[in-house]
Structure 1
């Protein structure tokens, strides 16, 4: 996978060959690796040190960091496979701590409920909140710069895409364990293949193996190597929808492996919650649009129920209905 110099590509005199290669990549794969991206390395390292200390806590302590209301996208959670073997731990941070903060930031009242369940900030790491929000803001800002670059490569003004303000973001940290079971790690997926439903996602990965894999145009899979200082940009399905399929949503998955825990952090950037995403006329040909409209706010309001309908285990659904924490049982043996 090519590593792109983002600073060079953002300049008015961006090299034409690299710009053309980047356009081909986002049209065919939808995942790019960038360096010289402008996010301070010290901020990335500081955040990962802090969240790393939280994720390295004993499991019993981490269990106290689960959402007190059972919200699957707040605080710490873990999920095992069908045999009870731990596949992934995740710590999720909402864009705002509560609905009041969302309203103050300009989120329309009808969508404030998205933020009604508060963030969980570990007392064991008192400086995490400030650094986490600074990191989230930096990755969000990077996504907006890349958004403008992609519009330029497509030959249209960035204003062509009604991204709105404030944009909606979500933020997750993934903790993938080493795979110590008899299965061949190469055959074990810790995160199943999918494309994000964002406009753009910015990710940082760390570990000692290339567990993140991107799907090529022919359907095969290739590694996204861990490059010091690099970040990964995923085109989400909403950007593909705006371009009527010209841009490819970046399909990816995570395979097991390595000798140390693999970690990643990702900020998912969406349009404002009052946006309906549908193909832009400039990208629609004689055959008409290939995608139906997507209601960003409506989907956000339904997100938990939709997730639990598809993936929720009975005890998790019960915890959510009763407004209490849920911690999935893991087979430690």
Structure 2
């Protein structure tokens, strides 16, 4: 196990201690570091978050126990059983990235919505109850979500300050009722004769505002630099990896980058990762901020799909639904009546 964060090195992800942000002793200093990271790579590493390591240790142990179960047992908690809530388990190669099956399995989770929630009653995608197996995994996931929420709020306060906005701008305008999604991903070890082109997850960007990623000690995550090269993200349990999503890229007109990344597990063991997506409110319309100075020219080659988040308009829920519909097209068709939503980008 890695015992501490690796130091910064040329071409690496910045390491930001957010302790002074959480205790209020140096908000401007932390904001400057985060602002610089968002304007360059769009990824940075987070220490000083104060989360009890035992929470991740417990979650890791229980997740491994779940993924070790036979597929026919895990099938009892398959996403199709949760209907339009899109919660539950999917098998290896059951999720697509740019139309290509990923070499991973996973458990989709979100905020718990009661049966009488207006969006649940309306059959809105990604709203409903979680589909957890019996035992401790569900409580461990929900405890982890509770621990991450203050960290996400704090980082967005720093982002606001870095952009010259009041600290509470995001909570007031975009994330007062956030869309919070969470995944537990298991990347099986690659066999010696595995297809060299097969990725745990292919090149992509995240959709919303912020992602906070916890991972085990095996590594495999790679980030595309502005120069087009790929760098490895250190495997540091206890150090969170933060990256920005398409909506923060759109909000800042490209001043902050939604950076492509990908995963391939070559460790020889099964890898776990735990991405937490902290996104705009479902009905929020994300429009560019009136920031000082000219935004950078859009680099169409920066994204693998050639799409532009700046050409899209509408509610965030529509953007997210359309994106997830591409990831699980068969599931979307089976649980969503009527035509597919307009696809962003």
Partner of 1:312: 329
Q: Residue 179 of structure 2: which of 147, 150, 168 is its match?
A: 168
| Deviation (angstroms), 1:321 | 6.8
The TM-score with structure 2 as length reference comes to 0.77
SS at 1:87's partner residue? coil
| Deviation (angstroms), 1:165 | 2.1
Segment of structure 1 superposing worse, 61-70 or 49-58: 61-70
Taking the aligned partners of 1:154 and 1:183, their CA distance within structure 2 comes to 45
Partner of 2:89: 76
Structure 1 residues 44-55: aligned runs within 5 Å = 44-55=56-67
Are 1:272 and 1:296, in contact at CA under 8 Å, matched by a contact in 2?
A: yes
Are 2:115 and 2:121, in contact at CA under 8 Å, matched by a contact in 1?
A: no
| Deviation (angstroms), 1:129 | 2.4
Provide structure 1 residue ranges, at least 5 long, that are not aligned to the other structure: 323-333
Deviations 1:105-152 (A, max 9, x none): xxx7887723555421202xx233222112112222211110111122
Q: Does 1:87 align with 2:103?
A: yes
Segment of structure 1 superposing worse, 262-271 or 286-295: 286-295
Are 1:26 and 1:248, in contact at CA under 8 Å, matched by a contact in 2?
A: yes
SS at 2:193's partner residue? coil
Partner of 1:178: 189
| Deviation (angstroms), 1:293 | 2.9
| Deviation (angstroms), 1:254 | 0.3
Taking the aligned partners of 2:225 and 2:246, their CA distance within structure 1 comes to 16
The structure-2 alpha-carbon separation of the partners of 1:284 and 1:307, relative to structure 1 and needing over 3 Å to count, comes to farther
SS at 2:180's partner residue? strand
Taking the aligned partners of 1:160 and 1:127, their CA distance within structure 2 comes to 37
Provide structure 2 residue ranges, at least 5 long, that are not aligned to the other structure: 1-11, 299-309, 338-345
CA-based RMSD of the aligned residues comes to: 3.3
SS at 1:222's partner residue? strand
| Greater RCO (Cα-Cα under 8 Å, separation 6 or more) | 1
The structure-2 alpha-carbon separation of the partners of 1:97 and 1:85, relative to structure 1 and needing over 3 Å to count, comes to same
Partner of 1:296: 316
Are 2:84 and 2:125, in contact at CA under 8 Å, matched by a contact in 1?
A: no
| Deviation (angstroms), 1:88 | 0.6
Equivalent pairs, count: 306
The TM-score with structure 1 as length reference comes to 0.79
Taking the aligned partners of 2:206 and 2:335, their CA distance within structure 1 comes to 24
Taking the aligned partners of 2:140 and 2:296, their CA distance within structure 1 comes to 48
Partner of 1:327: none
Are 2:210 and 2:242, in contact at CA under 8 Å, matched by a contact in 1?
A: yes
